[in-house]
Amino acid sequence: MLLSLLACAARYPQPLSSEAWPTPEAIYAWVGRGEASVQRDGAWVRDPAGDYDYVVVQRRYNGFWDVTKEMDYRHPNHRGKRHTSLYFHVVQRVSDANGKLEFSVDSALGAGRGTATEGFAHLDFELDANVPGFMPYSHFRFSQDFDYTAGTLHEIVELVDLPAETVFYRIEERAVMLATGG
């Protein structure tokens, strides 16, 4: 079900180019799994058909990131496409008075804003979902915790209807760092 929801949202694809990516300051590659749950009668119920395996490549430049995410849905009961590609362009803006970095995001899922702690150990951001009005959500909400020393990533992705603050669907992602470089 989630893939069908994400497929509706995927309208900002990775920019096409005949050139190789510019040389980044750093590259991080993550490999992981997302486990889906749906809200039913006030409780979270697992939705294994929405689970996916994924690979993320973060190309970090001075002042911005380009991120690609490849998701594979392998559950036999999954409805929708078996593979989804997402693209995120993250632009660092300014640091606020509390030392958090503010940033903007343009992506396949929508555009939005967020904040990160120093060193990008924790990020929170929200995107206006590029979805038709009949969908039961209007925003994507992300909370990411990177442990660069242990090489792990824990992320919560929520599909939220605003302003009601109704969380319709939730994916918990866990990943390990496959590689770094620059």
Q: What is the mean pLDDT of residues 28-38?
A: 97
Partnered with residue 127 across adjacent β-strands are 112, 140
Encoded tokens for 10: 């995927």
- Specify the higher pLDDT residue, 127 or 9: 127
Residue 34 has pLDDT above 50, yes or no: yes
pTM over 0.75: yes
> What domains sit in the chain, N to C, each tagged with a CATH number?
2-12+23-181 (2.40.128.20)
Read off the pLDDT band of 3 (50, 70, 90). Answer: very low
Pairing of strands 101-107, 83-95: antiparallel
Phi, psi of 168 (to 5 degrees): -90, -40
Residue 161 tokens, joined: 């209807």
User: Rounded to 10 degrees, what is the CA torsion of 61, 155, 46, 3?
Assistant: -10
Residue 178, class by beta-carbon neighbours within 10 Å (0-12 exposed, 13-18 middle, 19+ buried)? middle
- 122-181 pLDDT, tens digit per residue, is 999 999 998 877 788 899 999 999 999 999 999 999 999 988 888 989 999 999 998 666
